[in-house]
């Protein structure tokens, strides 16, 4: 895990004079917080959230003067997109709690 690198010298200058210090430094190897499987789950959850947001935003009206309820309140916007966002959040919570 931790291996010793050695000693380094640092020279510091102050108003009273120059002081030389010897400092011991170590290289520490750290592991990633999550495993590969966790990161795949996290990315897929983010993808589901993004897809839900895109579907919820939908298209545009053909004319700014016309109010078309079938475009605004379509089943994709009011049911499918929120379900995808919730599924993405659930996948991300699962990705945090699953073991490496």
Domains of the chain, by residue range, sit at 36-97
Rg (CA), the chain: 28
Who contacts 42 (Cβ-Cβ below 8 Å, separation ≥6)?
34, 92, 95, 96
Residue 56: both structure tokens together:
């919820």
Instruction: List, for residues 26-76, the tens digit of each pLDDT value.
Output: 777 788 888 999 999 999 999 999 999 999 997 777 887 888 888 888 899
- State the greatest distance between any 2 C-alpha atoms of the chain, in Å, as a whole number: 80
Tell me the β-bridge partners of 48. Answer: none
- Full-model pTM: 0.66
Structural contact between residues 48 and 87, judged by C-beta atoms closer than 8 angstroms:
yes
Instruction: List, for residues 80-89, the tens digit of each pLDDT value.
Output: 999 999 999 9
């Amino acid at each position: 895990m931790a291996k010793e690198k050695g000693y380094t010298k640092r020279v510091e200058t102050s108003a009273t004079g120059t002081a030389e210090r010897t400092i011991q430094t170590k290289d520490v190897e750290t592991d990633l917080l999550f495993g590969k499987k966790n990161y795949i789950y996290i990315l897929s959850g983010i993808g589901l959230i993004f897809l839900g947001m895109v579907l919820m935003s939908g298209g545009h009206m053909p004319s700014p003067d016309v109010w078309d309820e079938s475009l605004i309140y379509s089943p994709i916007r009011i049911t499918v997109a929120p379900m995808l966002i919730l599924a993405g959040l659930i996948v991300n919570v699962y990705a945090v709690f699953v073991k490496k």
